[in-house]
Structure 1
Amino acid sequence: MLGQLRAGLLKPGERLPSIRQESERLGVGKNTVVEAYLRLVGQGFLQAKPGSGYFVVRSPPRALEDRPPPIVAATDRAALLTEQLERRLPIRPGDGRPPPGWLDASELKRYLSFQRFQDADAYNSAWGYLPLRERLCGALGERGIACSANQMLMTHGANHALDLIIRRYVRAGDSVLVDDPGYYPLIAKLALAGVRAVGVRRLHEGPDAQDLELKVRESGARMFFTQSLAHNPTGGSITPGNAYAVLKIATAHDLTVIEDDPFADVLPYALPRLASLDQLDRVIYVGTFSKTLAASFRVGYIAANATIASEINELKVVTTVSTSAHDERLIFELIDKGHYLKHLRRLRARASRATEETVTGLEAAGYSVRRPLGGGFYLWIDLPEHLAGAPIAESAAERGIFIAPSPTFSTTKDPKPAMRVNVAYGADPVFLDWMRELAASPAK
């Protein structure tokens, strides 16, 4: 029937054969025909008229001829994010997320399939599912961060958390400080809000404290967005001395620090965090499950002092009403029953093996690689200086390779040539061959 509709053999307004007639013609039961008709009604192709039968409403679009996907290079922030969603290029060292197979291959998938729509409230609490918030406060306690339920609110992922903070505390024309290189969706959000993002030089061991103090004085900024651990895109992590220096500067200049910690669950608890040194006084702490479970969950959280948490949650209620009780209860069950912990152990092991393979491959290709401090998914690879301004993203895309070049992550127009490499994809032989060619390319 769908084939007849698609081929144009049945026109809009035309009445279909009766259920009895179609059942006899096809030699199938009437219930089978009824189910087929109802599916086409649900898809909007047919209309049921009581007492008259089923009529064609519209024809489905003709199937497009198979054609190769267009070559799209991630040359700006919007293109980079779009490619991560559409996944048109098959070789993906520029991707920011763990591979779907790192979830699908685990026992976790079976639990998710079974539990997804089990008992859940129609509406969530304004703050989010209380048992999960209490469990997250316990997790923060293991990281050395004291937190109670009235300091914790759930969000639709880390990006929603950053959106709420920007909307609540930043106005068009303000200056804020960000890591440079830094988290590119954040830089894009700030630009959209009309906010001037001032880059603070990011070193492998954390923000450059001298550059941070200079930029605070020059810009008058009162807010600093940073990722302390398993930094996106460099893979570096803050050291205790650097964390102390950052907070000392923040205190001296009345600077609020937003610490985004997306890989917290796969990193050692004892690693230094700004929030553990500050105890949520001037640090707003952001977490998410998108990097450890699946991006489609869209479950994150904000921990802050009680006043700030209440202010942000009021904005959340006004703009989105509430977060998902289904997903939050599901994640709580995964944690409570031990499934999440088992999944994290497998995820850490996969990331560790992938890191070794990628580092080995890149070093053999002629690159100096700074290993992640404590874990994470990213490496930051410096490229030959003469490639500054070269269309390397386009060159990679022609080979089917998706890369994430340095301009995407910078507040400046012409940063040094470099790229972020996701360790899950970095050992691909096609990618490594292309990297060898870049290393050997002559200066022009």
Structure 2
Amino acid sequence: MDIATQTPETHTFIDHVMATIRARIAARSLLPGDRLPSIRGGARQFGVSNSTMVEAYDRLVADGTISSRRGSGFFVSGHTAPLSIAQIGPKLDRAIDPFWVSRQSLDARPEMLKPGCGWLPPDWMPTAAIRRALRNISRSKDTILTDYAPPLGLMALRQLLSRRMAGYGIEAGPDQIVLTDSGTQAIDLLCRFLIKPGDTVLIDDPCYFNFQALLRAHRANIIGVPFTPIGPDVDAFARLAAIHNPRLYITNSGLHNPTGTSLSPMVAHRILKTVEENDLIVIEDDIFADFETSPSPRYAALGGFDRIIHIGSFSKTLSASVRCGYIATRPDWIDGIADLKIATGFSGANLSAELVLSVLKDGTYRRHMENLHARLSRAMDVTQTRLKSLGITPVITPDAGIFLWCRLPDGIDAAIVARNALVDGVVLAPGNVFSISQSANNLMRFNVAQCADDHVFDILARAMQT
């Protein structure tokens, strides 16, 4: 096509084709050496003319993105591009991108307010107990301070975790538990162990946003299950399981993130029936268990470990800086998971495991959680009242925990509110961050422990008006 005859519309089509091919290469949907569609095939695929397709390919050849082989067609050039997780899946507005929320929260200046983050403020954590434990550990054996941990992790902590899980009706011996550096590392190891690129994984819609990000990194096909005030929609779960033949279902059990929902026994039993019928594996993330004041059903307690994997950590209740999580699973999978742990990290954080054990075994942690339950209950009541004065209403009122999943007044987009509030130094968590279907634009998650400052509500009120 002669450049002089190209219209602005033609340029737009060419740019679109080029940008789409580059995005597929960045997301590793196209790898070096992969053959691209023919001119005619590409034109049909993109809905453009043959001449537009020729021009797009010519430009990509000119900048080295693809190569042309006479008589064979066009191929992706070069080496594998660095993985760009943000390019996997639909392109999202930056204000509703889970990495945007994570980075704003993690990079926030000390004076910024973070009602959208997922952790407690420092002065809510048992820092005195942590300092005491560190002092005690510093006087212990040199091997604790210097050596690698065993493959499954510190035995004494695994024994304690086994007893704690028994309190929820979960029967897991110490040899069925692998310590990890976090709940996220636990899910990463399990994805490496159980799925391959292209496998389908079910998640709740809405759900913790990093489930989506991690699954995209593993090149999974992600399907959302609508989530209700009593757990996943059981009919939708059964229908999606039958249609998509998923390998995994990843969910929170107690105190679902972001909704704060507790699983009902009826829903749990029906989900387990579908899991059995469809040869599914459930990863049950129980990271918020200790926030509960009365335990809700656990899939691992009801269904055992044949198809259920139970994971947790202490990042939310003890310290995010002390990295310590765990996996509890069936005995015949332990060695394979431990081998992957060695292959990808060699050893766990032995010092962190010793610190967690020290705080858990002396009664300090139990007293800390009792105080935390009372403090969070008060914060939940105050935050709901303040939000309702702005026309923001909880979808449900949780029994416990740190999150309120709320609906904004009609016509207000949570992503726009989040962008506006950030200008004034407040980090919010708009609903579509958590929704694979992008159906939560009028919803927002609030961390009640991070809402004590009056400025949160003043800035939120202004952000909803602009």
* Aligned match of 1:305: 330
In structure 1, the partner of 2:277 is 252
**Is it true that 1:101 corresponds to 2:126 in the alignment?**
no
Count of matched residue pairs: 368
Contact 2:293 2:373 in 1 (8 A): no
**Which 5+ residue runs of structure 1 have no aligned equivalent?**
1-72
Residue 117 of structure 2 is aligned to residue 92 of structure 1: no
Distance 1:269 1:143, change over 3 A: farther
Q: Is the 8 A contact 1:366 1:436 kept in 2?
A: no
**Hey, what does 1:28 align to over in structure 2?**
none
Higher relative contact order (CA 8 A, sep 6+): 1
Q: Residue 177 of structure 2 corresponds to which residue in structure 1?
A: 152
Alignment of 1:2-401 (within 5 A): 74-88=95-109, 90-103=112-125, 107-119=128-140, 120-121=143-144, 122-268=147-293, 270-388=295-413, 391-401=416-426
Identity %: 33
Deviations 1:346-401 (A, max 9, x none): 22222122111111211222232245543111111112342348522211112211
Residue 263 of structure 1 and its aligned partner are, at CA, apart by 1.4
Q: Which amino acid aligns with 2:136?
A: Q
After TM superposition, give the deviation of residue 269 of structure 1 in Å: 5.8
AA of the residue aligned to 1:81: S
User: Higher mean Cα deviation, 376-385 or 114-123?
Assistant: 114-123
Is contact 1:145-1:280 (8 Å) kept?
no
The structure with more radius of gyration: 1
Question: Is the 2:291–2:400 Cα contact (8 Å) retained in structure 1?
Answer: yes
Moved more, 366-375 or 121-130: 366-375
- The TM-score, its normalising length taken from structure 1, stands at 0.78
The aligned residue for residue 443 of structure 2 is 418
Aligned partner of residue 138 in structure 2, secondary structure: coil
Question: CA offsets, 1:203-229, max 9 Å, x none?
Answer: 121111111112112221121000022
What residue is the counterpart of 2:71 in the other structure? none
Show CA shifts across 1:258-303 (max 9, x none): 1001111232463211111012221100110101111111100000
Matched, 1:408 2:433: yes
SS across alignment from 1:391: helix
Distance 2:310 2:107 in 1: 30
Q: Is the 8 A contact 2:414 2:444 kept in 1?
A: no
Moved more, 154-163 or 314-323: 314-323
- Residue type matched to 1:92 in 2? K
Secondary structure at the counterpart of residue 327 of structure 2: strand
CA RMSD after TM alignment: 2.0
Q: Distance in 2 between matches of 1:261 and 1:326?
A: 23
Q: Distance in 1 between matches of 2:175 and 2:157?
A: 13
Q: Which amino acid aligns with 1:91?
A: L
What is the alpha-carbon distance in structure 1 between the residues aligned to residue 189 and residue 238 of structure 2?
A: 26
Tell me the distance in 2 between the aligned counterparts of 1:137 and 1:74.
41
**Structure 2 gap ranges (5+):** 1-93
**Distance of 2:424 and 2:312 partners within structure 1:** 36
- Greater CA drift, 146-155 or 340-349: 340-349
Q: Is the 8 A contact 1:354 1:423 kept in 2?
A: yes
Per-residue CA deviation, residues 297-329 of structure 1 (Å, 9 max, x unaligned), is 110000011112332122112211221221111
For residues 357 and 390 of structure 1, the distance between their equivalents in structure 2, rounded to whole angstroms, comes to: 24
Looking at structure 1, the residues matched to 172 and 349 of structure 2 have their Cα atoms a distance apart, in angstroms, of 22
